[in-house]
């Protein structure tokens, strides 16, 4: 088992498959002139699968593919199939911005994918453009519809909330959940943006969103018997129609129940989103090291995990890698 020095058991692996993206959300990437990883630096599907097999032998049973935008990685469905075929993997998910989802939802489903998170912060096309600095709103909406038709249920929608920017989107997104059956998840803005423009004042806190939804639509009540390791706290509207989750990473950090670690697209293990250290696995994978050595590197990285992020303290240091380069 992968246990750190605080007793947290790690069963959840997030794999970034690329740092490239087809939009430019301001809270994640720079607007222009992004220097992407050289394609040769990216782990191949075979290398990712080997790493995943070793991780599964250590107790991992949930894998999520992310990026960058995972759907810009050619033939992602092939990797989904390879990972689904690993005995012991109970759950594979993908987090996507949805732009290419209409084209790929069916092949991802056919490859065995059943869990899908689509990021959409706004239901106004103008606000979408302001946040992402690109067009594509209609494609995301269409992608969500195609995914639902294909069978993904529920499609979860991730919305980053930013004070002074997305307040007007909260009620429309709450109604969207009630009308379409998607599950909304509001995420507090974290200091992982490439422009280093994050400030605490820009975080729209989960409790404020709960209040806005409760006053503007109807009261929300917590869903009973929630998974203690899930980062989102789930709520339901009083009439049972529409489920809303909150990832309050800044106001209520869930570090003490964290069960996840990450593999970056260029083959580095990170034991926390906010790590300042990484373990280079690519050189091991390419240098002929046996699985036992890779397993040892994973165990050592996880056991060295810090107690938690320190966003709310003066000690906090923003990692050099922004979100798109780590894999969110
Ligand atoms: N491109 C895909 C997408 O946007 O869904 C996957 C990668 S993205 C980095 C994963 C998630 O991280 C998205 O839901 C995105 O909204 C979220 N995210 C990115 N930067 C963030 C930040 N600074 N604070 C909070 N969430 C962030
Ligand atoms: Fe791209 Fe996702 Fe980052 Fe937005 S949040 S820029 S979609 S990687």
Indicate the domain borders of the chain.
Answer: 12-326
Give the pLDDT confidence score for residue 228 in this predicted structure.
Answer: 84
Cα atoms in the 13 Å half-sphere on the side-chain side of 302: 26
Q: What is the pTM of this model?
A: 0.97
> How would residue 138 be classed by pLDDT, with cut points 50, 70 and 90?
very high
Rounded distance from Cα 25 to ligand 1 centre (Å): 8
Rounded distance from Cα 293 to ligand 1 centre (Å): 32
> How would residue 312 be classed by pLDDT, with cut points 50, 70 and 90?
confident
Of 158, 161, 156, nearest to 188 by C-alpha is 161
Instruction: Report whether CATH 3.20.20.70 matches the domain 12-326.
Output: yes
| 94, 232, 318, 323, best to mutate for ligand 1 pocket (most atoms within 8 Å of CB) | 323
Q: Is 290 helix (H, G, I), strand (E, B) or coil?
A: coil
Give the pLDDT confidence score for residue 310 in this predicted structure.
Answer: 84
| 28, 71, 95, 159, best to mutate for ligand 2 pocket (most atoms within 8 Å of CB) | 28
Residue 91 gets the label, from left (phi > 0), alpha (psi -120 to 50) or beta, of beta
Which ligand 1 atom sits closest to the C-alpha of 326? 9
What mean pLDDT do residues 92-114 have? 98
Give the pLDDT confidence score for residue 111 in this predicted structure.
Answer: 98
Cβ of 21 less than 6 Å from ligand 2: yes
> How do 115-119 and 91-96 pair as beta strands?
parallel
Cβ of 66 less than 6 Å from ligand 2: no
Give the pLDDT confidence score for residue 161 in this predicted structure.
Answer: 96
Cβ of 264 less than 6 Å from ligand 1: no
Cβ of 327 less than 6 Å from ligand 2: no
């Amino acid at each position: 088992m992968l246990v750190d020095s605080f007793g947290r058991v790690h069963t959840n692996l997030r794999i970034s498959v690329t740092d490239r993206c087809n939009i430019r959300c301001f809270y994640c990437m720079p607007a222009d002139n992004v220097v992407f990883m050289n394609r040769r630096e990216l782990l191949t599907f075979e290398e990712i699968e080997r790493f995943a097999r070793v991780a599964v032998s250590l107790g991992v049973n949930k894998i999520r593919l992310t990026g960058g935008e995972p759907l810009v990685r050619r033939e992602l469905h092939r990797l989904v199939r390879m990972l689904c075929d690993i005995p012991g993997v109970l759950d594979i998910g993908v987090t996507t911005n949805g732009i290419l989802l209409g084209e790929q939802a069916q092949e991802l489903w056919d490859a065995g994918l059943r869990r899908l998170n689509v990021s959409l912060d706004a239901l106004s096309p103008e606000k979408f453009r302001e946040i992402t600095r690109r067009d594509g709103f209609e494609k995301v909406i269409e992608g969500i519809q195609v995914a639902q038709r294909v069978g993904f249920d529920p499609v979860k929608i991730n919305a980053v909330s930013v004070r002074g920017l997305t307040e007007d989107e909260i009620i429309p997104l709450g109604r969207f959940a009630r009308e379409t059956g998607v599950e909304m998840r509001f995420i507090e803005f974290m200091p992982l943006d490439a422009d280093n423009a994050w400030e605490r004042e820009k975080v729209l806190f989960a409790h404020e969103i709960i209040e806005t939804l409760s006053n503007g639509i109807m009261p929300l009540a917590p869903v009973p018997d929630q998974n203690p390791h899930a980062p989102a706290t789930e709520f339901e509207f009083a009439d049972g129609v529409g489920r809303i989750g909150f990832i309050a990473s800044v106001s209520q950090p869930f570090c003490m129940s964290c069960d996840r670690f990450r593999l970056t697209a260029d083959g580095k293990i990170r034991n926390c989103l906010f790590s300042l250290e990484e373990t280079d696995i690519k050189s091991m994978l390419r240098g002929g090291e046996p699985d036992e050595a890779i397993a040892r590197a994973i165990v050592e990285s996880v056991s060295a995990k810090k107690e938690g992020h320190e966003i709310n303290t003066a000690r906090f240091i923003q990692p050099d890698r922004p979100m798109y380069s780590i894999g969110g």
